[in-house]
Structure 1
Amino acid sequence: MRVDNVCGVCNAVDETENHIFFRCRFSHIFWFCSPLHLNSHELEGFDFLDSWGKFHEGMKGKENAEEICQEFAFGLWRLWKNRNDAVFKGLYRQPLDVMDLWWKNIIEFREASTSLGDDAWNMDVTPLSATARPSLHWQRPRYGTIKINTDAAWCKVTLRAGVGWVGRDFAGVLQAAGGMGTVRCLSAAAAEAIAIRNALKACITHRFNHVVIESDAKLIIQMIRKEVTVDCNLDCVIGDIEILAQMLTSATFAFVPRESNHAAHLVAKHVFKEGRDIIWDCIGPEFLFNALAKDVNLLIRL
């Protein structure tokens, strides 16, 4: 269906649905830079239904295909909203800004869907699969914020630990990662706290001024947030964390389940096995690339 003769986003003399969603230079950048990492030219079909069919066919047999299709649909809707803002309001956004709005829409939808519960979904629609629930998936931070996931691998026999951290931006792209493989501590809780302290030091070094620190050590997060009394054995480490956090423009701390912390867990295990300190800037090892790609549903694997 032709809706006009000039595309409101790129000023091309074409504004078919196929142009807006797949052929427009704006949409091509949007899809390629998105976590789905799509080549929109390959999706362009005879009409929109043909394009949708091509995408759906490519998802057959893929892990989390339902979730990926959902994100694709939200992307289409966001591109159309962006076109309307440009045409009717004169509001022009950059592809990364639209991408940020797109992901916020997805998060809001999934949070609302989860809050309804399975019984509510069963009344008229198919419930979201467990893999689509935000509580079990790594979630992207807001634009301009770096999310740091931390974890520790501790051996009770040797009292040695490896602590790891992974920093990603709003698109899920690795900004830095690393850890310490020669940490001596008396408990797993201490190792988890040291992992957070080490991550904060790295944030200062890399000038990550706005950060969200996530850990699957619930009790440690509660201590940092002053929701429970600090264990006297951890008082020094928790105190260091508070001082380091004040050196950043903004730092918040959140608990996440282990499923959302898989990448940091892999880094902690790796440095523990290597027995040395390691830092990666932007380009990490193969195992980390694959973990990060899975977190954002990127289909590429090394």
Structure 2
Amino acid sequence: MEFQIAKRSAKKQVTFLSDTLNHSWCPPTEPLIKVNVDGAWDKNTTSSGSGVIIRDARGKFIAGSSRSYIAGSIIEAEAIALVDGLKLVKQLNLDNIVMESDSHELISALGNHIEKAMSLGIVTSREANRVADVAAKLAKSRLCTEVWVNIPPTSLVSVLTNDGVPCPH
């Protein structure tokens, strides 16, 4: 089940846009900006990574990040990725966002708290969250945080291109 909620800058109301499962990444409608987040976790080592990818309504890459850390569970890794996405949105002073995550468990755990805290959007399809998933898995094997603005790293260009959206080279 997919939940998408758009953030409205003026009223900060929760708006449900869709309740169907997307199997591929879809750009948001103008003037929204889509933020995909994902966490990766290794049960044996507890090494984890977060991936954040931000794109506009044309599918153009705006920014992204990956970060490695230690987490006690997959849901903790997914929650950290969500927070990382929100931090990047705040740092870039972005507005009118739709956030997507493939963690149904995290969204279920947050329940109504999402609606009370702020407007977020959530998707539970791994296919629609592919680029953030790759960024999170790459971060898990690295020891540093990376943030990209306007131009994605070469390690993500092919995945962005496979989404069928514009990607700067």
Same fold? TM cut 0.5: yes
- 1:242 to 1:164, Cα distance in 2 relative to 1, 3 A: farther
Report the TM-score when normalising by structure 2: 0.79
Deviating above 4 A after TM superposition, structure 1's stretches of 4 or more consecutive aligned residues are none
- Which protein has the larger Cα radius of gyration, Structure 1 or Structure 2? 1
Counterpart CA distance in 2 for 1:242 and 1:268 is: 26
Runs of at least 5 residues in structure 1 that lack an aligned partner in the other structure: 1-110, 116-133, 227-238
Contact 2:135-2:156 within 8 A present in 1 as well: yes
Contact 2:59/2:165, CA 8 A, preserved across alignment: no
- Where does residue 25 of structure 2 map in the other structure? 138
Structure 2 contact 63–148 (Cα < 8 Å) conserved: yes
Could you say which structure has the higher helix fraction?
1
Alignment partner for residue 190 of structure 1, among 41, 63, 76? 76
Map of 1:275 onto structure 2: 143
Distance of 2:52 and 2:143 partners within structure 1: 16
Q: Which amino acid aligns with 2:138?
A: H
Superposed CA offset, 1:18-58 (max 9, x none):
xxxxxxxxxxxxxxxxxxxxxxxxxxxxxxxxxxxxxxxxx
Determine the C-alpha separation between the residues in 1 that align with 2:55 and 2:91.
15
Percentage identity across paired residues of the two chains: 29
CA distance in 2, matches of 1:297, 1:176: 15
CA distance in 2, matches of 1:140, 1:261: 12
Equivalent positions of 1:81-96 (< 5 A) are none
Which residue, 74, 88, 91 being the options, matches 1:205? 91
**Residue 213 of structure 1: CA displacement?**
1.0
Larger RCO (CA under 8 A, 6+ residues apart): 2
Residue segments in structure 2 that go unaligned for 5+ positions in a row? 1-17
SS class of match (1:208): coil
Counterpart of 1:73?
none
Normalised by the length of structure 1, the TM-score is: 0.46
Q: Distance in 2 between matches of 1:221 and 1:146?
A: 20
Q: Counterparts of 1:154-233 in structure 2 under 5 Å?
A: 154-181=41-68, 183-226=69-112
Q: Select 1:287's aligned residue among 146, 155, 160.
A: 155
Of Structure 1 and Structure 2, the greater strand share is in 2
